[in-house]
Amino acid sequence: MLNSVTLRFTRRERDTVFNNDLVGIFVTFVVLSLAPPVYAAEKFPDYPVRPADQYAIKAERAGLIIGVEPVEDLNDQKVYFDARTTPNGFIPVFVVIENRSSGDSFLFDQTNVGYGGAFYGFKPDMGTTKRQENLLKRHIKSKTLSPGASVSGFLYVPVPGKGPREKIHLQVPITKAGTSETFMLNLFF
């Protein structure tokens, strides 16, 4: 048979226990708030950026240079996107655009980029939130490029999931700021 034991604390002992509990709770809260959360997004390595004129596939006009690099190696796709994207129906194409003109600014609108006669509007679905967030984060953004400015990121071009892909024709329209003059930079790969 169990005997019940009554614990009696003096007021001072009770206050000491209570204060120690508060300190313990506070310390636990601080430690947990400084620790990285378990649900934090996975960190993917950054894709290496080089000057636009150092890419094998490039075009230039009016001081604006664009260089592209399709990421076709399945191992590289796994490293940078946590998936082999070509079997999923798209190839990531890294794009670097630099304004090397002395005084002109240019407008790059990623929604007007075309490939093979169609406008770019492809949004890949990789099935998991962390992959989708990574794809969106790395997607090239529209930007006004003042002299010396650049922009880089990925376009995701649909390709057959199996078999060899056809040659891709990327059409990048650029508008000179302050005018309606637009010219097309064409890249083939």
Domain ranges within the chain, ordered by starting residue:
52-188
Contact 139, 156 (CB under 8 A): yes
**Strands, E assignment, 13-166:** 57-61, 64-70, 90-99, 106-108, 114-115, 118-119, 143-145, 150-158
Query: What is the structure's pLDDT at 43?
Result: 78
Using DSSP bridges, classify how beta strands 169-176 and 106-108 pair: parallel, antiparallel or unpaired: antiparallel
Q: pLDDT per position in the chain (189 positions), as tens?
A: 555 545 555 666 555 554 555 444 444 444 444 444 444 446 789 999 999 999 999 999 999 999 999 999 999 999 999 889 999 899 999 999 999 999 999 999 999 999 877 555 656 665 667 888 888 899 999 999 999 999 999 999 999 888 888 899 999 999 999 898 999 999 999
Give the separation between CA 143 and CA 139, rounded to whole angstroms.
12
Question: Selecting from 2.60.40, 2.60.200, 1.10.287, 1.20.1300, what CATH number does the domain 52-188 have?
Answer: 2.60.40
Q: What letter does residue 139 receive in the DSSP assignment?
A: B
Give the separation between CA 74 and CA 84, rounded to whole angstroms.
5
Residue 110's closest CA among 160, 159, 144? 144
Residue 171: CB atoms within 10 Å: 17
Residue 64's closest CA among 145, 157, 170, 132? 145
Residue 174's closest CA among 124, 127, 123, 104? 104
